[in-house]
Structure 1
Amino acid sequence: MDILYWTQQRFFLPGEKVHLYLIDPEASTLLKEIAELMMLAGHESNLSHAYGEIRNSTLMQCLCLFGVQIDLNSYNPRASPSESGFNMLLDLDGQKMEIWIQALRVIIGTVLPEERQACTQIFGSDSKVEEDCFARATTRFIQQLFAFGSLIANVKDEQYEKVPLLVQMLEEFLKLKPSIEALRYGDAKDAISQEADMLLEKLREEAVRLLLKFSEAQINHESYDNETIVLNGSVLSFPQYTMGVIKLLAGYSDTLNIILPVEVGGVGTVTTSPWKSYVLTLLTRLQLNIEEKSKSYKDECLRNVFLMNNAMYVLEKARSPDLKILLGDNWVTKQLVQVEQHATAYLRASWTEPLFQLKDKGISYTERSLILTKKFKNFNSIFGEISRVQTTWKVPNPQLRQHLRLVILQQVIPAYRAFVGRFG
């Protein structure tokens, strides 16, 4: 049966070529003649067994090339990774998850249909033999692909950036599951369908678990307890991390609306979708976290700069197409008002005192020279201190930074010029 190993087909992955040996179309004719002779001689069982073993071994090469392989003899799909003896795979990372997704696409979209077609061409004269050969060749092959996906879902960690990949795995599998079932019949179809449903449920459970844990972490301040505030009032890492995860998940809103429980959010109206409710809740808790962290700043001016910067960062990321449509104009407007309120509070806290020195109301003529000299001196001292301290602060958003500069110039320069013009 060495003829079953003939020819090469190429499958492409990002950055490399994957080669898989399939049956040469020219060899199919010869194999068909051999198969028909064996069936006429009553050797259907031996034929199915030989074909299934050889083709399964060949197909397994595809999983080896992808790096998607485990020992099915010791694998228990219902056990945890440690109980199943897969401690070496507990460090599953995003790259392995992406590899599994790519393997799923190639195997379901190309490899299995090719194998199905080969079985039809070779054993088409007997549908029972055809189905038996295809089932023997592909069942363990598919089970190993499912087992690796199940192993990924079983790995319990708190790496929230894993959620988008889990959802992508779930989405791809939901999309391809009908294709898997369409290629199989009878008991073989039922068995694979049951395993597919089990994998889908594991992926869903793990994705929802991490989503809920991610939301709870915002309440428990786990997202920033170990983070030290920066002295320049810039954006901290936990808002960046949170918005990064939300932005990645936004592309899977349809799937998330299916897997998230309706009551998961707790924010919004009855008609709010589970995904929108979840995001609104997450953003509300994120804002509370930012406000809590701002209390670490003793300087009121710097505290308002910090609040302004972080609110602006959230607004900027929420303006991406998917999130803007989801959150709506009202939410964006409210967030913009919040940014403006923090900016106004900063300007008031920073510039009220120096501008007060440029007022001349209530100055008597006899005290005028002494008081004016003192006012100039006070203004210069306060202005110098503001310049010394605030030049180390940061406003990362260029539009917001330019807006603040213009407002300061419009308030301070005209007032100073007018004061100097009257008393200089």
Structure 2
Amino acid sequence: MVHLEDDFRQVLTSGTYLYPPNSLQESLHDCIAPFMRSFSFSSIPNLEDLSFSSFSTSPSGESRSYGTGYSSGPVCMEKVHMYLIDPEASIYLKEIAELMILAGHAPNMCRDYGETRHNMLMQCLSLLGVQIEQKSHNNQAEATANGACSMQLYEKNQKMWIQALRVVVSIVLPEERDACAQIFGCDRKVEEDCFARATTGCTGQLLAVGSMMTNVKVNDQQYHKVPLLLQMHEELVKLQPSINVLMSGDAKGVISEQASLLLDKLGEEASSLLLEFLNVYSNLKPCQHKVLDGDILPLTRHVIIFIELLVEYNDTINHILPRVEDDDEGKGKEQSTKRTKSRWERYVLMLLARLQLKVEENAESYEDERMRYIFLMNNAMHVVKGSGSPDLSMSMGNDNHQQLVIRVEQYATAYLRASWTEALLQLSDHGVSKYSVNFGPGSVSQWMRKSMKNFNSAFGEISRVQTTWKVPNPQLRQHLRLIILQQVLNAYRTLLGRYDCCLGKNPSKYIKYTPDDIENHVLDLFEG
């Protein structure tokens, strides 16, 4: 039996594919092509999905298959099976196992198998990029003095963790299951014991590292972790049923409990950061450095990107987020309708409502009423544009989206009145009859000259100042220009057509702008 034990250990060790660490990691990455999802708040890149499928090293019909069925894409067997057991070695191990079980030496054999395979799977986990030691997770070379890591480092570790979770649950565990079934199929109890000894430590360590990641502080604002935590939560929810199917006995209870605790921890941390985000921006003071050209407030851009990143996780957020009260909850208005909103919908509407208050507070810093409306309009339009995606518009509801559109129109109308009323008044001939009665013959010429002088002054000031103002949305910018041209250019041409003869022999002395000049100046507005 001692000789058989030695043979068993030797065959088990030598029958496992073990490439040099660098080659193994490179091959895994080439084969699995890990997805690269970025949560940068400066851009929203294209996202790629990663899928895995299980394969079997045992001949068809010889053993049970424990594929998870989680994935649809193929994985290259030659590269992935490098950390599993060679099929020929499995046949020899099966023969030895049957003899040892018959001789009553199953406990020693289970111990040897568990230790050998545990060490191999832990090495595989490490090569997948999952750091085993907590101190190595926060890379000291990239961490600050207070122990917080950079957002880039945290995102990298999160990607590695999800990749490892998918590989372990979708490939490693099913293949270890099939290997145990092939080698120890003659005794179901021994098979379960060997599988549990080999995989419990690796699976538990993977979940422990995930739990540790929820506590890691980042140098950037903490709530940047939210999409990453939600993605970890969703991946674990998808794979937890497969874990429960693969595990059995006491090992199943331990791993299932650890997975459930991790889900709770991820949900609690994500919901805490979501509420923190809501409260932080509710208590922000108006920006001391106002946007000089009326452009979109950085806060507005930040909030919209944050919402856009979270919208695909709305089902998870509805599950983990505690009920949040609307700011106008309890006032009796449409209460029955409000109760039907999901927690994610309530959160989005509260966030946008508080954002609107902050935008209005910042707008008060503009002494120029016209720029104030440009600033309000730009921010409202950015929210409208951000809420135009199908997923987000469903979260907000058509009524709320329509209210945002109406708000943009109201700000645009207020801007037009504040900016162009005086200029348009000079182009109106409503007062010409009254002017002629008060001032006698020749008064029409005096009125026309005065009107042109006042118009030239008003239009010149608008053209000079508002060319530096910015309307970043091209559709809104073009819409404003067309409305201005429609009102100003038509009135200007009408006035000149009727009264240019009243300007004397040298009308160019009073006509500073031709209709083409006015059109060109208006088309230059709002470029920043």
TM, length-normalised to structure 1: 0.91
| Larger helix percent | 1
Identify the residue that residue 307 of structure 1 maps to in structure 2.
376
Asked if the contact 1:167–1:203 (Cα under 8 Å) also holds between the matched residues in 2, the reply is yes
Identify the residue that residue 165 of structure 1 maps to in structure 2.
228
Superposition deviation, residue 264 in structure 1: 5.1
Identify the residue that residue 164 of structure 2 maps to in structure 1.
103
CA distance in 1, matches of 2:452, 2:128: 75
Q: Superposition pairs for residues 220-239 of structure 1, below 5 Å?
A: 220-221=283-284, 228-239=289-300
Asked if the contact 2:97–2:183 (Cα under 8 Å) also holds between the matched residues in 1, the reply is yes
- CA RMSD of superposed structures (Å): 2.4
Give the 3-state SS of the residue equivalent to 2:32 in structure 1: strand
1:174-198 per-residue CA deviation (whole Å, 9 max, x = no partner) reads 1211111111122111111111111
CA distance in 1, matches of 2:325, 2:346: 7
Identify the residue that residue 362 of structure 2 maps to in structure 1.
293
1:244-283 per-residue CA deviation (whole Å, 9 max, x = no partner) reads 1111111111111111122355566111111111111111
Mark the runs of 5 or more structure 1 residues left unpaired by the alignment: 76-85
Mark the runs of 5 or more structure 2 residues left unpaired by the alignment: 1-8, 19-26, 37-75, 137-144, 330-336, 501-528
1:209-230 per-residue CA deviation (whole Å, 9 max, x = no partner) reads 01101111221017xx557322
Greater shift after overlay, 413-422 or 309-318? Answer: 413-422
Superposition deviation, residue 156 in structure 1: 4.3
* Cα 1:289–1:201 shift into 2, 3 Å: same
Which of 260, 277, 288 is equivalent to 1:197? 260
Identify the residue that residue 6 of structure 1 maps to in structure 2.
16
Asked if the contact 2:113–2:194 (Cα under 8 Å) also holds between the matched residues in 1, the reply is yes
* Cα 1:264–1:131 shift into 2, 3 Å: farther
Superposition deviation, residue 90 in structure 1: 4.3
1:260 lines up with 2:321 in the alignment? yes
Give the 3-state SS of the residue equivalent to 2:127 in structure 1: helix
Identify the residue that residue 347 of structure 1 maps to in structure 2.
416
Superposition deviation, residue 95 in structure 1: 2.2
Which of 380, 383, 388 is equivalent to 2:464? 388
Superposition deviation, residue 234 in structure 1: 1.3
Asked if the contact 1:143–1:192 (Cα under 8 Å) also holds between the matched residues in 2, the reply is yes
CA distance in 1, matches of 2:400, 2:110: 63
Asked if the contact 2:210–2:262 (Cα under 8 Å) also holds between the matched residues in 1, the reply is yes
CA distance in 1, matches of 2:16, 2:308: 47
Aligned-residue sequence identity (percent) comes to 54
1:73-108 per-residue CA deviation (whole Å, 9 max, x = no partner) reads x99xxxxxxxxxx98674452222122112111111
1:137 lines up with 2:198 in the alignment? yes
Identify the residue that residue 497 of structure 2 maps to in structure 1.
421
Asked if the contact 1:166–1:203 (Cα under 8 Å) also holds between the matched residues in 2, the reply is yes
* Aligned length, in residue pairs: 411
Q: Superposition pairs for residues 18-417 of structure 1, below 5 Å?
A: 20-71=82-133, 90-91=149-150, 92-156=153-217, 158-221=221-284, 228-263=289-324, 265=326, 269-360=338-429, 361=431, 362-364=434-436, 365-366=440-441, 367-417=443-493
1:255-313 per-residue CA deviation (whole Å, 9 max, x = no partner) reads 11111122355566111111111111111111111111111221111111111111111
CA distance in 2, matches of 1:370, 1:32: 113
Counterpart of 1:375 in structure 2: which amino acid? S
CA distance in 2, matches of 1:54, 1:271: 56
Superposition deviation, residue 57 in structure 1: 1.4
CA distance in 1, matches of 2:11, 2:467: 77
CA distance in 2, matches of 1:417, 1:259: 63
Give the 3-state SS of the residue equivalent to 1:282 in structure 2: helix
Asked if the contact 2:117–2:198 (Cα under 8 Å) also holds between the matched residues in 1, the reply is yes
Give the 3-state SS of the residue equivalent to 1:69 in structure 2: coil
1:148-196 per-residue CA deviation (whole Å, 9 max, x = no partner) reads 1111111245432321111111111112111111111221111111111
Asked if the contact 2:287–2:362 (Cα under 8 Å) also holds between the matched residues in 1, the reply is no
* Cα 1:121–1:305 shift into 2, 3 Å: same
Asked if the contact 1:53–1:137 (Cα under 8 Å) also holds between the matched residues in 2, the reply is yes
CA distance in 1, matches of 2:305, 2:248: 43
Identify the residue that residue 22 of structure 2 maps to in structure 1.
none
CA distance in 1, matches of 2:222, 2:467: 37
In our comparison, the structure showing a higher alpha carbon Rg is 2
* Cα 1:46–1:88 shift into 2, 3 Å: farther
Superposition deviation, residue 394 in structure 1: 1.5
CA distance in 2, matches of 1:252, 1:390: 41
1:339-368 per-residue CA deviation (whole Å, 9 max, x = no partner) reads 000000111111011111223302124443
CA distance in 2, matches of 1:276, 1:134: 45
* Cα 1:373–1:406 shift into 2, 3 Å: same
